[in-house]
Structure 1
Amino acid sequence: MQLTVEHDLNTRYAAGDWIITLTIHPLDGTARLAWNPEGLNDPETFSVLVSRQPLSREAIRSISEIFASYDGLSDIADAEWAYLHNQTRWGWEQGPWWDAVDELGYLLREAV
C-alpha cells in the first residue's frame, strides 16, 4: 500500500481541536494521512485516529516508517467489502484485516 501525507500536517495552526487521521483504502491499495480530513464517511475505508494535535516532521517520519514496515498491510489489502445481509447494509466482512487495522492504529498512536 502507498501512504500519502498532506503537505500541511507539519504546519502549526492556531489553537483548537485538530484530528489527524490515517484513512486506509484496501480496495485501491492507498492510505492518506490527513489533518482534519474530509470524506471520513466514505464507507469503503478504514480510518484510524492518530492524534488530536498537529504533527511534527519527526512524527510524520515515524508514521511513514511504521506504515512502510508493517507486515499486516497484506491482511488489510485482503479486506472484503460485501453486502452484510444480517445488517442490511454494505460493510467490511469479518476477517484478519480488523485485527491488522487495530494493531496498526496502536503502533501509529505510540509513535506520536
Structure 2
Amino acid sequence: MQLSIDSDLNARYAAGDWVITLTIHPLDNTARLAWNPQDLSDPQTFSLPVSRRPLNRKAIAAIENVFTSFDGLDDIANAEWAYLHNQNRSGWEEGPWWDAVGELGYLLREAV
C-alpha cells in the first residue's frame, strides 16, 4: 500500500478543529497522513485519528515505520465496499479488515 505524508505536519492550523489523520483508501490501495478537518471524511476510506498536535520528525518517522511494518495492510487492502441490505446503505462489509484497522489505529496512537 502506497503511503504519502504531507509536509506540513509540524505546523498548527489556526482555525477550525483539525486533527492529523491517516486516511486509508483500500479501493485504490493508497494511504495519506495529513491534517484533516475533524468529522469530514470520505465514507469509502478508513480514517484513523493520530494526533491533535503538530508532529516532529521523530514522530513522523515512527508513524511511517509502524505503517510500513504493519502485517495487517493486506487485510485492509482487501476490504470490500458493498450495499449493506440490512442497513439500507453502502459501506464496508464485515471482515478481517476491521480488526486490522483497529490494531493499526492503536499502534499509530502509541507511536506518537
Question: Would you call these one fold, judging by a TM-score over 0.5?
Answer: yes
| AA at the equivalent of 1:46 | F
TM-score (norm 2): 0.91
Any stretches of 5+ residues in structure 2 without a counterpart?
none
**Which residue of 1 is the match for residue 57 of structure 2?**
57
* Aligned residues between the structures: 112
In the other structure, the counterpart of 2:4 is 4
1:81-108 residue CA offsets vs partner (Å, 9 max, x unmatched): 0000011110000000000000000000
CA distance, structure 1, for counterparts of residue 72 and residue 94 of structure 2: 15
Cα 1:68–1:37 change in 2 (3 A) is farther
Amino acid at match of 1:108: L
| Segments ≥4 residues shifted beyond 4 Å | 12-17
Unmatched tracts of structure 1, length 5 or more: none
Please state how far the C-alpha of 1:25 moved relative to its aligned partner. Answer: 0.4
CA distance in structure 2 between the aligned counterparts of 1:106 and 1:65, rounded to whole angstroms:
14
Code of the residue aligned with 1:10 in structure 2: it is N
Between the two proteins, what is the percent identity of the paired residues?
Answer: 74
Alpha-carbon distance in structure 1 between the residues aligned to 2:42 and 2:84? 17
Instruction: Note the 1:7-22 alignment, pairs <5 A.
Output: 7-12=7-12, 17-22=17-22
- What does residue 32 of structure 2 align with? 32
Q: Output one character per residue of 1:46-101: Cα deviation in whole Å (capped at 9) or x when no partner.
A: 00011111111111100001111001000001100000001111000000000000
With over 3 angstroms needed to count, the CA separation of the structure-2 counterparts of 1:107 and 1:87, relative to structure 1, is same
Contact 2:12 2:53 in 1 (8 A): no
CA distance in 2, matches of 1:21, 1:53: 11
